[in-house]
Structure 1
Amino acid sequence: MSQWIDAVAADEVPQDDVIGVQVQGLDIALYGVNGEIYATDNLCTHGHARLCDGFLEGHEIECPLHQGKIDVRNGQPTCQPITEPVRTYPVMIEGGRVFLQID
């Protein structure tokens, strides 16, 4: 059953940048894009690099290891060598906190 888990204060997620957080033992990347917050697994599906160490441009995070890119809105790869999608998590902002829906 899915539940909403308190991850971090919303103002800790920088605009136009990415941070890594631990939520219930999961390594999660949170992205601030155009006033929205998106969440994915923090591990690239290609080279096992942490996405929070990558470069965020618009809705795309560039992996710091091999420069593949992923759309943070849906986890889909947008540039080789990444071919496998990254897991995404629904995000809810309430009371100045970021909540993630974790299965």
Structure 2
Amino acid sequence: MAEWKIIADECDLIEGNPVEVIINNKIILLIKTHSLVLGFEGLCPHQKARLVLGTFDGEWLHCPQHQAKFRLSDGLCGPGWVLPSLKKYQTKVDNGKVLILFDN
């Protein structure tokens, strides 16, 4: 059953600066952009590179190993690669805490 879990303080997130957190032995990538906090699986589906080490250009998250890119709006892999989309998690901010809807 899915449940909301606190994973970060909003004040610790800097606009456009990805942050990695671990919850239930899974790496989650948080990105604050346009006052929203987005959550994705934190490993590239291609070679399991840690995406927090990649670059973020405001719209796309780029893998540090091979430069595949994933769109933040939906996790879709960009042109030139045939990779699965990144899993996108539901997130919300409540009283300064970032919560993620996480399956146990």
State the TM-score bracket (shorter-chain normalisation): over 0.9
TM-score, length-normalised on structure 2?
Answer: 0.92
| SS, match of residue 39 in structure 2 | strand
Tell me how far apart the structure 2 counterparts of residues 11 and 80 of structure 1 sit (CA, whole Å). Answer: 36
C-alpha distance in 1, partners of 2:53/2:39? 15
Q: How many residues align?
A: 103
| Structure 1: gaps of 5 or more residues | none
1:20-31 equivalences in 2 (<5 Å): 20-31=20-31
Decide whether aligned partners of structure 1 residues 50 and 42 sit closer, same or farther in structure 2, where only a CA change above 3 A counts.
same
**Residues 1:61 and 2:61 aligned together:** yes
Question: Aligned-pair distance for 1:92?
Answer: 0.8
Query: 1:46, 1:82 within 8 Å by CA — same for their partners in 2?
Result: no
* Pairs within 5 Å for 1:1-103: 1-81=1-81, 83-103=83-103
**Larger proportion of strand:** 1
CA distance in 1, matches of 2:79, 2:12: 28
Counterpart-to-counterpart distance in 2, 1:31 and 1:10: 11
Q: Unpaired runs of 5+ in structure 2? A: none
- Stretches of 4+ moved more than 4 A in 1? none
Over the residues paired in the alignment, what is the CA RMSD in angstroms?
Answer: 1.2
